Structure 1
């Protein structure tokens, strides 16, 4: 795992990365291949709740640390400019599966 933008944030980054990697392994459970849309949605809702319970606190602490480092280094105006020039867009809807 790489160091954080700010050395003071590196321990939080490492803690978050470890937590996320463990959580993500379960998120990718292969049992969903033949699941109904309802059960898939329920699974992902449970996984979102699980992420918040296990990793949410350290994620917020890490983000707060990073925000401080971004402000301290004067990077904030560049980030804002990039967001204005290239805003994130919603992903296009998934196409329905072709019938075989």
Structure 2
């Protein structure tokens, strides 16, 4: 696993990565199974999202806050703003509290 943007965030990153990877192993195989209906897939995805939030949500929030502080402390906010203006996303990103894949 790689280091985080800030050394102080690395333990949180490792904890989040481990939580996400453990959760994702249980999500991937059943989610792509050809033998389930779209309704079953939707229900499964909703259940797994709730499971993820319960298991990893707090860790994700702590890590995210740490990285946001590091971005600010390192003076990177203006660079990020410039990059977003130069290359805007085509689609809106998920809500900021949604965890990305590790």
Aligned mates of 2:33, 2:90 — CA distance in 1: 27
Aligned to 2:69, the other structure's residue is in SS state helix
Alignment of 1:1-100 (within 5 A): 1-30=1-30, 32-90=33-91
Question: Over aligned residues, Cα RMSD in angstroms?
Answer: 1.6
Comparing 27-36 with 65-74, which one deviates more in the overlay?
27-36
Q: Per chain length, whose mean CA-contact separation is higher, i.e. which structure has more relative contact order (CA < 8 Å, sep 6+)?
A: 2
Report which of the two structures shows the higher radius of gyration computed on alpha carbons: 1
DSSP 3-state at the match of 1:5: coil
Q: What is the TM-score normalised by the length of structure 1?
A: 0.84
- Return structure 1 stretches of 4+ with deviation > 6 angstroms: none
Instruction: Structure 1: state its 5+ residue gaps.
Output: 92-100
Mean alpha-carbon deviation: is it higher for 69-78 or for 29-38?
Answer: 29-38
What is the CA-CA distance between 1:86 and the residue it aligns to?
1.8
Q: Distance in 2 between matches of 1:19 and 1:12?
A: 11
Q: Where does structure 2 lack aligned partners over 5 or more consecutive residues? A: 93-102
TM-score (norm 2): 0.82
- For these two proteins, the number of residue pairs brought into alignment is 91
Note the C-alpha offset of 1:79. Answer: 1.0
